[in-house]
Amino acid sequence: MKHKKMSWLIATLFTSPLLVQQALAQEAAGDIQQVNVTGIRASVRNALAAKEASNSIVEVVSSEDIGKLPDTTIAESLARLPGMSSGLDRGNASQVVARGLGPRFIGATLNGRELASSEPNRAVRFEQFPSESLSGATVYKTQSAELVEGGVATTIDLQTVSPLKYNGRQVSLKADALYYAMARDIPGATKLAPRVGGVYIDQFDNRKLGVALAFSYQDQPSIEKNVKQFGFNEDHSADLNGDGKIDKTPWGWGDSAKRGKDKRSSVLGKVEWKPSGDAIITGDAYYAQAKIKEPGVAHWSGDTGNWDGWQKSAYSNLDIRNGYVVGGTVTGVGLTTNDTLWTQDMDTFATGVNGKFNVGDWKIESDLSTSRAGRDSQWRDLRQVSNNGATVSFSFTGDERQVYSYGQDTGNPANFGAATLYVDTDGHLRDSLNALHLSAARAVEWGPVNKLKIGARATDREKDYHQTTWNISRLAPNGSLSNSDYETVNIAGMGAPFIALKDFVGTMQRAFGASAFDASGRVPTQNDLLSGWRVKERSSSLYAQGDLGGGLGGKSYRGNVGVRVVHTTQTGEGMQSLNNAAPTAVSDGTTYTEILPSLNLIFNMDEKQEHQVRFSVARAMSRAPLDEMRGSRNIFVDPNPAMPLTGSAGNPQLKPMMANQVDLVYQWYFGKGSLLSAGAFYKKITRYIGIVSDNTTIDGRPAVITRSVNGEGGNVRGLEFIYQQAFDNGFGVSSNYSYTNSDIKESFPTANPFPIEGLMKHNGGVTLWYEKNGFEARTSANYHSKFVRNPTWGAGQLIENGAETYLTLNVAQQLTKQMQVRFGIDNLTNQKVVYTSANIPQQQEVTEFGRRFNLGLSYKF
């Protein structure tokens, strides 16, 4: 029945154009005039035209109209491009993976400028860029000398609107009502939320001065259901069933739900001044903010790990598979109930001034920019343990099967003991990046070289993090917690009821004091001090590039050839503890110089240049994640001087990961908005960064330290296929498929290491669209096979993200020339996110975000 309803819905979608307003149809049937292509068809054509004209191998996202990218944020659009995908965060596409490589290999720029990041590494969260602020994006799959270094997989340049490219004043406003269906299952969760945005563009002084202003605001519910198996006792388990074999028992499991909000806002301001035909000066500023407040409820099962066999008599009804206890019943087990609140404030600010001047035969460009990002976060957890041991049952057999019982009434606060408030952690991250870029270009006649470009760039970046952790188990002098402070929370589809405070913040401050959540005056723990760090990075680069053009064997060709030289000095600071002694400051660092040559060639195989063969060869680099360059280390000193030091640490001496890479692509542009393409790529990656037990020397003494190091690397190779076509009857299709393989392995798990982070062997999607007489419809299905990712802050916290198919549906009707009504559904099939840890099929975490609906109006005048 479900599939029949879906078929009916899709059939209705593509026959609805018959219902378009008669007035619009009559208007279209009038005298033939100049055709102004807009909407989906315009976006497809513009993107393909930019792709065809580029001297590099690129993918392009183009705006359908002013303030109208194909999706709510650029992250969703990027994730549908050939060879691209994304992991989900709070149900949104966020950090991108490309060509089998994760976020560490992806560079991100805004108007050609590198961006600071609110992540601990260098990764940029692309969901912070809403459609109102951008006119498009270019994904560079191949390198050129003029491109900012830093993206072995790809460099993604986001472009803001240019007001002088528009003719006259234009204003676009949008308002949407968002509906989150799963909120019906979670008491206290928000079901309906607003989203608004707008763009204003105008020109003054006889089109010498242009201005653009854009804003967006979204109050997005942050809801989820989650069940997680905690892992297995690998080292100290015992025989449970008497067969003489060790049966690895689970540490336990937990279930949880969130019922919060994710408020996002942004504003863009841009001014372009063109005093003459020989000069244009642009100033722009972009600010984005995200405020997350997520109340949550959770249970943690008590210890079922059977350490050295002490619980053997408590186990029954065993289900043992491949040596792992994946099901059973255990008596005398405790239970923890958690009432939580996660707060997170993130902001990003980027601004710059750019000048372009014609000086004789030279075109001179200068660009001065600065970027700032920050994150303040705090985890608050009111934790209580059950009064009596219970009989728990579980069956975690993999394939999303998660059946469990806690054996007691978990919805009654009287069944739990005294409360302890844990604040773990109160963390603060700051990132700043300043850059200066100068370049010059002129036409030349040097054989095949018809244009020369030279340039220089200098950057100064500093990133730091510090945290404070505390817990309070003693109530304030007049504080108290009673059963009447709680409510029972029953969540549909979860295995047991929860308890939560009716007023979390108010009750906590009454019970534990007004400063319960305030880090001021609190002494950081030793772990807090060792977790703090600062990294400084100064880099300069020079490049020279020649644009190529000419004929060869009766065919024309074009492209570029060049070299970029990069010099970097980096320092990592932190705290060091020897044998748990009081931490002291420590720092280290390194310098390196890299030479990055590149060549891009496009051979036109026919006079109309519809058939193209593109070839690229280059050397590329991706710098080490900033948090892994920290100076912090925790060292244990053996009293026997012949024994090595041991411990864990950051590594300020990390060098960038390098790649020699080759691309070969055939493209056939067989019509407007139509392309058939087949390509292959190969990357030989060296100095791949992984976390290992590294044999090194500290203060002249041998040491074995767990830290990130530059390893050997390996090969990444893949195939990419694209077919897209715009038909004359209003229909269109865009489809792509990528296959990627690699012999690079991570260092975890030790016995059977994961493949390289980001590797999706299979990745692709299909978008069907229709546009005619004011009606638009689009449905997309995107698939990726399983891949390894790091969804947490901690470096090296790798898991396997299961295969996913993500479906969306969008329709729109033009009511008047100015007004359009829109309707959309995200995650049409309620795809869940499934993590599998340590290559153990039964050790899964399953998260459900639910379907999302939107109904909106757009008005343009």
> How far apart (Å, rounded) are the C-alpha atoms in residues 412 and 442?
77
What does the buried/exposed string (b/e) look like for 275-300 if buried means 16 or more CB atoms within 10 Å of the residue's CB?
eeeeebebebbbbbbbbbebbbbbbb
At residue 4, the pLDDT reads: 38
425 upstream amide cis, omega within 30 of 0: yes
Residue 29 CB partners (closer than 8 Å, separation 6+): none
What SS3 class is residue 134?
Answer: strand
Residue 476 pLDDT: 85
Length of the chain: 861
Predicted confidence (pLDDT) per residue in 573-608, tens digit:
999 999 999 999 999 999 999 999 999 999 999 988
Q: Got the DSSP string for 88-104?
A: EETTEEEEEEETTB-GG
pLDDT score for 38 = 62
- For the chain, the distance separating the N- and C-terminal CA atoms, rounded to the nearest angstrom, is 44
β 701-710/645-649 pair status: parallel
Closest-CA residue to 547 (of 661, 611, 454): 454
The residue ranges of the chain whose pLDDT is under 70 are 1-38, 64-70
The predicted pLDDT at position 1 comes to 39
Contact 414, 333 (CB under 8 A): no
DSSP letter at 14 equals H
Cβ(814)–Cβ(850) below 8 Å? no
Residues with Cβ within 8 Å of 161's Cβ and at least 6 positions away in sequence, in order, are 66, 67, 133, 134, 135, 199, 201, 212, 214, 268, 270
Amino acid, single-letter form, for residue 783: Y
Query: Which residue shows structure tokens 């008599």?
Result: 313
List CB contacts of 850: < 8 A, sequence separation 6 or more: 91, 180, 181, 182, 183, 223, 827, 830
Q: What is the per-residue pLDDT across 159-200, written as a single tens digit (0 to 9) for each?
A: 999 999 999 999 999 999 999 999 999 999 999 999 999 999
Burial-class residue 108 by CB neighbours within 10 Å (0-12, 13-18, 19+).
Answer: buried
pLDDT of residue 494: 92
329: left (phi over 0), alpha (psi -120 to 50) or beta: beta
Question: Is 339 within 8 Å of 500 (Cβ atoms)?
Answer: yes
37-42 contacts at long range (C-beta below 8 A, 24 or more positions apart): 38/64, 38/65, 39/64, 39/65, 39/771, 39/776, 40/64, 40/70, 40/732, 40/769, 40/771, 40/776, 40/778, 41/673, 41/726, 41/732, 41/771
Tokens encoding 333? 């087990």
Q: In this structure, are residues 607 and 627 in contact, taking their beta carbons and an 8 Å threshold?
A: no
Tokens in use for 566? 């990069």
- HSE at residue 578, side-chain half, CA atoms within 13 A, is 10
Measured in degrees and rounded to the nearest 5, phi and psi for residue 839 equal 60, 25
pLDDT at 801: 95
Per DSSP, the three-state class of 22 is helix
- Token pair listed for 379: 């985890």
User: Which DSSP helix (H) or strand (E) runs through 27?
Assistant: helix 22-28
